[in-house]
Amino acid sequence: MLKTFLLNLKLFLLYSSSHKLRTFLTTLGLIIGIGSLVLIVSLGNSAQKSIAVQMQKLGTNLITILPGGSEEGKPASQLFSSQEITTLKYEDAQALKDTPGIVALTAYVRGTVVLNYLNKTKNVLFSGVEPEYLLVENTQIEKGRFFNEDENESMAKVVVLGWQIAKDLFQRSDPLGKKIKINNQNFKIIGVMKKRGKIMFFDYDKEIFLPLKTAQKIILGIDHINFIRAKAVNEKLIPLISTYFKKTLRYRHRITEAKKDDFTIKDSQQMLDIFYKTTNTLKLFLAIIASVSLLVGGIGIANVMYVIVDERIREIGLRKAVGAKNSDILYQFLLESIILTLIGGVIGIFLGILAEFLISVIANRFGLLWPFIISWPSIFISLFVSFLIGLFFGFLPARKASQFSPAQAMRYE
């Protein structure tokens, strides 16, 4: 059996070495398909790992309340709405602050402003938050201080700069106490945040922080908030706290049926689960698209194998004349088909891994946390799929080769 395998392998190598371009083009569809599958799965796994690590940075004991209802296990409608949902109010956040089991809670409003200092102008993101923000987000001040509750209630025009914003505007000079213009209004700088970097693809160092009411009333001119975030004492208390939040908000919003909720409560794990479900669905969808390349590659294998069989009919006749059976010929050409697809599969796997590595390097160079992950299950599955394609699409050409009679094959020109 081993001798037969080695003989057939030698015949394949001799033939393919004399038709290098054809061999490459034959496997190209499989290379693209397998490479795409490996890359898609690896990218999906890397994205999931990246988000999981970043969620750990934010904290696994966070509870977020978003405006707008949602179905169980699905994102809040606010995330997909073209219009801003205004069902959450500042007073809602205040009513939840005495909830047992929470460390801190803050309401948020977010937007974009024009920031001016001397001859420098920047469009920057801002977060309007309450003093408890530092506790909720587990972050710190590097210079100066954060604003207090009196400054929030009085809508004071004070600002805390993100680390990168402070560096861009003031270089090495001290920004504390200096005035900057935000939407053409003077604000006093009272602090600079400690360097935090990107979390969940959001760069916290490139935003500024304003007292919530200042941002809400003076900058945006609105009476609603974008969301609320609370930090639980520990993860075990999250279900009880979420239940309390629901009861309180339903009472305040006069809601009697759960399906009519105009808010959505998600904890860190739920948001991570939703992200996993979304990325898994996306991976499946993209994998189906990539599978079209495998189908095309399989058809290409079948067509080329038919051509190879026709070119080697005299060889088939000679082998049969010296005693080769139909099964030997079938085995020979089926083996060649499988080797072709496995070669394509291996090259595709290598290119998929290489592409994922390059994407990881480039992403990390730009400050994104993007781990390089090799999905071994996808590699083994890709090899198995390559084997099946070779077996399935090579069977009919191999069967055709095995059906030639020695006399018919020897007379073929």
Rounded to the nearest 5 percent, the helix, strand and coil shares of the chain are 60, 20, 25
- Which phi and psi angles does 202 have, rounded to 5°? -115, 125
The gap from C-alpha 284 to its chain's centroid, in whole angstroms, comes to 13
- Which phi and psi angles does 198 have, rounded to 5°? -95, 130
Apex 395 CA angle, 391 and 396, nearest 5: 150
- pLDDT given at position 82: 47
Decide: residue 228, CB within 10 A, 0-12 exposed, 13-18 middle, 19+ buried.
buried
The parts of the chain modelled with pLDDT lower than 70 are 1-23, 55-59, 70-83, 200-201, 367, 406-413
- pLDDT given at position 25: 73
Helix ranges, 312-375 (H): 313-321, 326-365
Apex 385 CA angle, 379 and 388, nearest 5: 150
Question: For residues 384 and 216, what is the distance between their CA atoms, to the nearest angstrom?
Answer: 58
- Going by C-alpha positions, the residue among 306, 332, 317 that lies closest to residue 396 is 306
- pLDDT given at position 107: 96
For tokens 């409003």, what's the residue?
A: 109
271 contacts: CB under 8 Å, gap ≥ 6: 55, 64
- Going by C-alpha positions, the residue among 273, 267, 265, 266 that lies closest to residue 249 is 265
181 and 117 Cβ atoms separated by less than 8 Å: yes
- Which phi and psi angles does 383 have, rounded to 5°? -65, -40
Which amino acid, one-letter code, is at 389?
I
Residues 250-280 as b or e (16 or more Cβ within 10 Å = b): beeeebeeeeebbbbbbbbebbbebbeeebe
pLDDT by residue (tens digit) across 12-66? Answer: 556 566 666 666 777 787 888 888 888 888 888 887 777 777 766 666 788 999 9
Largest alpha-carbon pair distance within the chain? Answer: 102
CA distances to 72, 89, 93, 268 from 85, rounded to whole Å, are: 19, 11, 16, 22
- What pTM did the predictor assign? 0.67
236 and 185 Cβ atoms separated by less than 8 Å: no
